[in-house]
Structure 1
Amino acid sequence: MAMTHQQDLKSVFTTKDLNFKPAAKITKKDLNAGVTKAEYAVRGAIPTRADELKEELKRKPGVLPFDDIINANIGNPQQLDQKPLTFTRQVLSILEYPEILRVGPDKLASLNLFRKDALGRAEHLLEDIGGSIGAYSHSQGVPGIRQSVAEFITKRDDGEPAAPENIYLTTGASSAATSLLSLLCKDVQTGLLIPIPQYPLYTASASLFNAQVLPYYLDEGSNWSTKSDEIEKVVKDALEKGIKPSVLIVINPGNPTGAVLSEDTIAKICLIAAKYGIAIISDEVYQENVFNGVKFHSMKKVLRKLQRLYPGKFDNVQLASLHSISKGFMGECGQRGGYMEVVGFSKDIRDALFKLMSISICSVVTGQAVVDLMVKPPQPGDESYDQDHSERMKIFHEMYTRATLLHETFNELEGIECQKPQGAMYLFPRLVLPEKALRESERLGIEPDEFYCTSLLESTGICTVPGSGFGQQPGTYHVRTTFLAPGTQWIQDWKHFHQDFFNKYRD
């Protein structure tokens, strides 16, 4: 049969048709320059090497000086120790297979498979969604879920109202950020004010959309605080060079620093946005991850306070606030869900944003459902409340305990300085490396912190990200690590590696 088809095709072209030299294939030089220029260190060279070592361990167990890879390079909670919340997974199971509901709540409860409030929540969500999570939703997201998000924001912000029409359900916070930036980056003279150190999504997006990165440095000496005068200086310098600062990125709590912004700092950021007509993207995906009595304040809540206190002065502030199911107590990175709330933007911009969202049809509907479960967890009196609350407290306690131990361990070691964790799920210690180590990294043609992280991986299996992937003050070196990995042995392994590294490269 195959030969017959080949013979049939022989009659399609004439000899004249085939009288050509095949053209060259598309090569790297033909690609979008923004894509080739963009870098994303979280999944860069060191994580790639970690994947290679993991495969080597599978092929030849015992061949390396460690038995497993510790993925401390990325905030991926369920890859490590964090278990999914039971209530969330019960509801999702029913959404995926609604036929379960035919069994009846009493029978399911007697089998100890599903609690009755999970069944009721699933039924309600199915009604909101339209009967099946396999169908497209509205491009802005399921209306009932957007209503849930608006109610959550209103409660979180002490009664400052939020409206469902301002909510866009997205495939995670990253897609929300890239959608906004693709819209707001007009041309090469567009400037993005990005905190340094920063989550590499933002500098990568600047490359993709051909915008200018306008870095503003966080103050490591005061626990990575944000200085408004530093931001304003960057704005003025950019304007003098003919660059229009259009977007100010704020990450609160910070990634990779874990710093949490005070109300006063947020107010000063809003003042800069009002003075210079700069839109704010407030990345707030770690808002549940705060420690040591620190309180999270949303950008939206502070903005609304300023608008009441100073009528007419802050009404021009355009703000997009992002949240995600990937972090916090949910840790549902693979479900891909999040939202953005946009306020202060004109109808023209909102229409353009909706058009942009419509091109992708809609965000993942299961992710939208998990957003609903994030913003409306079981409440006191609900059947699932006690278990859900207990699971959340366990997640918080274990994360805080590891963060504290890791912070204390770092600050006991020679040549490493670490700020106290306030939030998020990372530490970003500074490395003060010996001159001999600096010379060796120069000989190898890599950054000193990359040399340290590579050595750490090859010796212990601990995969981290060099600070150079996030940006840092020139002449300083850092490493970003999560504190998600289970147990404490890996922390001891890191301690012993660090001591050996300094002994080896001591001048």
Structure 2
Amino acid sequence: MLAARPYSTKMSVVYRGGGSLNSTTKRFFLTTSQKMAPSVILRQQPNDLIIQPYQHFDIGPKPSLIISRKFSASENIKMPHAVKRQRKPAKDQLHSKSHYKFTPAAQVKIADLNENVLKAKYAVRGSIPMRAEQLQHQLQEDPRSLPFDKIINANIGNPQQLNQKPLSFYRQVLSLLQFPELLNSLKENPAAATSLYKADAVRRAEKLLEDIGGSVGAYSTSQGVMGIRKTVADFITRRDNNEPAYPEDIFLTAGASAAVSYLLSIFCKGEKTGVLIPIPQYPLYTATLALNNSHTLPYYLDEKSGWSTNTKEIDSVVLDAIDRNIKPSVLVVINPGNPTGAVLSEKAIAEIFEIAAKYGIVVIADEVYQENIFDEDVKFHSMKKVLRKLQQEHPGKFDEVQLASLHSTSKGVSGECGQRGGFMELTGFSHEIRQVILKLASISLCPVVTGQALVDLMVHPPQEGEESYELDQAERSHIHSELHKRANKLWETFNRLEGIQCQKPQGAMYLFPRLNLPFKAVQKAQHMEMTADEFYCKELLENTGICTVPGSGFGQVPGTYHLRTTFLAPGTEWIDLWEKFHKEFYNKYRD
């Protein structure tokens, strides 16, 4: 192969070939757009034959030269007269239509994509929320173009989007973690800290930076910062009446959603695997099952008894799956419930563990709403605490149960959805399975480090006697009382409206009312190729700006219609607006 390399006013031609050139006679072709001096010298390096001009040569738009000459590998040669030949410069050849001889391939089409991804659905950000985004843009361009002046995002549990104020202690510590120079300045001048930063926030930031390794911009270990995992283990121990927890069992995660993805990816083995999901359910689970090409095994919650579980039905679902040669590998429990807001009793949890122990099914306890309890007559019971009690009272019966418990900084009174903090605790899993989970976590390198820090702040808030305690307690109490007030207001409104029935909220952030829609409304929905609850949600959005999610996106008993709404939006005017819309809707489509 010959390669031409110009050097300002000189040029080299290099022959690169295999083996020795000493005894080889070669023919070479040199093409250049430059006028070359008539004399050249040839010298050899290992496997290279180099020809250089003795003299400078002019650079300019000259005809191409083709020089052909036989030579031996070591001779000095005189170049013969150049043979001139007109041809296109090489760069023009590259753009010539005739240069490329292939036929261009078609673009990737939807049919070429992973069909499991195409099957996955996530109603919380489905067609109604997408329409809400379009209307939001319309309002920005023309504020008077719609019968309302803002979108109320009641479709998703996203508190700070709806003006819930972040907890001051959280943000003080986070800001110091992000800007350690400020932390150092405050340590040197403690008096300057009192106006903006409480002393305990400075101390916590200092400890967290030490645990993290000096910077939140660096990767942590894939399982999460050990110091933070110790804080989580201490929290679980206190919560569960001193039933011990260990940092080795804790995995810090990017929200609870990452933990769900890890677990279902590991325990789902394609079409021969099934996962028991409560209906109605949070759509993350069915979407993740679709991605893993595994079966949803639905068990229906009993609406009439406050969305309670029916273990006889769960048992029959398991047996039916086994008859169909599908292995029930995982049973999901969401407590407090999303979207129902129901809180499970200790007895109901014990009955679920009986099924898990009987059939060898892994239990995922989604407990991200454990701080959101509004009914004074109910209490949150962690599934781990109930499992340990069963193991103590019935030796040998529940020892093999495997439980993964999830929590998140997105809910409770924290509301830090965008920070992506969470954790899972593994109970009863072998070392080998833990290593597989760690391997999967390692693929993502590590969860967001500031999210890990928020987990630390969530499970260990300011304590009595510390500088931030009173303000932190006041902020938490205000958030909780406002949520409770709006939850009751919305529940009372629904239950006095014609065609709506709603269970009283016990916890979480949602209501899941049942819609008994007029037949004409159902017909209209069918004509528009929608489910009836989707049609209702669309009309509600288009007329009031209130964005909700149809119950069909969460699953429901066939022939029934529901919707999910949060009660996070501030104030109660939007609830009054909803009441007005519903009355007009019912009158319009009344049978």
Question: Are 2:158 and 2:415, in contact at CA under 8 Å, matched by a contact in 1?
Answer: yes
Query: Quick one: which of 426, 441, 456 aligns to 1:372?
Result: 456
More helix by share: 1
**1:382-432 superposed Cα distances (whole Å, 9 cap, x missing partner):** 100000000000000000000000000000000000000000000000000
Q: Give the AA of the match of 2:493.
A: T
- The answer to whether residue 101 in structure 2 is matched with residue 101 in structure 1 is no
Indicate if the aligned counterparts of 1:109 and 1:115 stay in contact, CA closer than 8 A.
Answer: no
- Per-residue CA deviation, residues 159-196 of structure 1 (Å, 9 max, x unaligned), is 11111011000000001101110111012110010000
Sort the Cα spacing of 1:60 and 1:13 in 2 relative to 1 into closer, same or farther, 3 A: closer
Q: Does the 8 A contact of 1:108 with 1:114 survive in 2?
A: no
Asked if the contact 1:194/1:216 (under 8 Å) is kept, the reply is yes
Residue aligning to 2:240: 157
Measured in 2, the distance between the counterparts of 1:114 and 1:9 equals 64
**Cα distance in structure 2, aligned partners of 1:11 and 1:131:** 57
Q: Deviations over 1:308-350 (max 9, x none)?
A: 1111110111110000000001100000010000111122211
> Is 1:76 paired with 2:158?
yes
Q: 1:179 to 1:11 in 2, by over 3 A?
A: farther
Post-superposition Cα deviations, 1:473-503, rounded to whole Å, max 9, x if no partner, equal 0000001000000000000000000000000
Residue by residue over 1:33-81, the C-alpha shift from the partner in whole angstroms, topping out at 9 and shown as x without a partner, is 1110000000000000000001000101111000000000000000013
For residue 329 of structure 2, the aligned residue among 232, 246, 252 is: 246
Match of 1:3 in 2: none
Indicate how the Cα distance of structure 1 residues 355 and 65 shifts in structure 2: closer, same or farther if over 3 A, else same.
same
2:456 partner amino acid: D
- Rounded Cα–Cα distance in structure 1 between residues aligned with 2:535 and 2:387: 43
**How far apart, CA to CA, are the structure 2 residues paired with 1:370 and 1:462?**
31
Cα separation, 1, equivalents of 2:421 and 2:261: 14
The 1:53/1:308 distance shift into structure 2, 3 A limit, reads same
Deviation at 1:26, TM superposition (A): 1.4
Aligned pairs for 1:379-394 within 5 A? 379-394=463-478
The answer to whether 1:288 aligns with 2:368 is no
Once the two structures are TM-superposed, the CA of residue 16 in structure 1 deviates from its matched residue by 8.1
Tell me the secondary structure at the aligned position of residue 271 of structure 2.
coil
Q: Give yes or no for the alignment of 1:87 onto 2:159.
A: no
Query: Which residue of the partner structure matches residue 74 of structure 2?
Result: none
Match of 1:417 among 489, 496, 501: 501
SS in 1 for 2:565: strand
1:169–1:340 CA contact under 8 A, matched in 2 = yes
What are the ranges of 5 or more consecutive residues in structure 2 without an aligned counterpart?
1-88
Partner of 1:166: 249
Aligned to 2:259: 176
**8 A Cα contact 2:93 2:99, kept in partner:** no
Paired letter, 1:458:
E
State the alpha-carbon separation in 2 of the partners of residues 129 and 470 from structure 1.
39
* Percent of aligned pairs sharing the same letter: 64
Aligned pair count reads 501
The answer to whether the 8 Å contact 2:193/2:199 transfers is no
- Structure 2: how far apart are the matches of 1:230 and 1:404? 31
**DSSP 3-state at the match of 2:195:** coil
- Residue 496 to residue 8, structure 1, CA distance change in 2 (3 Å): farther
TM-score, normalised to structure 2's length?
0.83
Structure-1 residue corresponding to 2:482:
398
Matches within 5 A, 1:118-267: 118-267=201-350
Could you tell me how far 1:102 is from its partner in structure 2? 2.6
**Highest CA radius of gyration, 1 or 2?**
2
Q: Higher strand share goes to which structure?
A: 2
Q: What stretches of structure 1 move > 6 A for 4+ residues in a row? A: 11-17
1:20 to 2:111 alignment: no
Distance in 1, Cα, partners of 2:421 & 2:91: 48
- Residue 278 in structure 1 maps to residue 325 in structure 2: no
Residues 117-152 of structure 1, C-alpha deviations (whole Å, 9 max, x = no match): 000000000000000000000110000000000000
Residue in 2 aligned with 1:338?
422
Per the TM alignment, residue 464 of structure 1 is displaced from its structure 2 partner at its CA by 0.2
Is 2:346–2:386's contact at 8 Å kept on the other side of the alignment? yes
Structure 1 residues 162 and 24, CA gap change in structure 2 (3 angstroms)? same
**Which residue matches 1:363?**
447
Flag the 1:67–1:167 CA change in 2: closer, same or farther, 3 A.
Answer: same
Match of 1:66 among 145, 148, 152: 148
The AA in structure 1 aligned to 2:524 is: E
Distance 2:207 2:90 in 1: 57
The equivalences for 1:314-329 within 5 A come to 314-329=398-413
**Greater RCO (Cα-Cα under 8 Å, separation 6 or more):** 1
**CA spacing shift, 1:169–1:435, aligned 2, 3 Å:** same
CA separation of 1:62 and 1:357: change in aligned 2, threshold 3 A: same
- Quick one: distance in 1 between partners of 2:565 and 2:303? 16
Q: Following TM superposition, by how much is the alpha carbon of 1:104 offset from its aligned partner in structure 2, in angstroms?
A: 2.6
User: Residues 11 and 321 (structure 1 numbering): CA distance in 2 closer, same or farther, change over 3 Å?
Assistant: farther
How far has the Cα of 1:15 moved from its partner? 8.0
Q: What do residues 329-379 of structure 1 show as CA deviations (whole Å, max 9, x unaligned)?
A: 110000001000011112221111111011111000000000000011000
Give the counterpart of 1:459 among 534, 537, 543.
Answer: 543
C-alpha spacing 1:9/1:424, structure 2 compared with 1 (3 Å): farther
Q: Is the 8 A contact 2:391 2:399 kept in 1?
A: yes
More moved, 103-112 vs 29-38: 103-112
TM-score using structure 1 length? 0.97
**In the aligned structure 2, how far is the partner of 1:392 from the partner of 1:269?**
33
CA distance in 2, matches of 1:9, 1:344: 68
Pick closer, same or farther for the CA change 1:109–1:270 going to 2, 3 Å.
Answer: farther
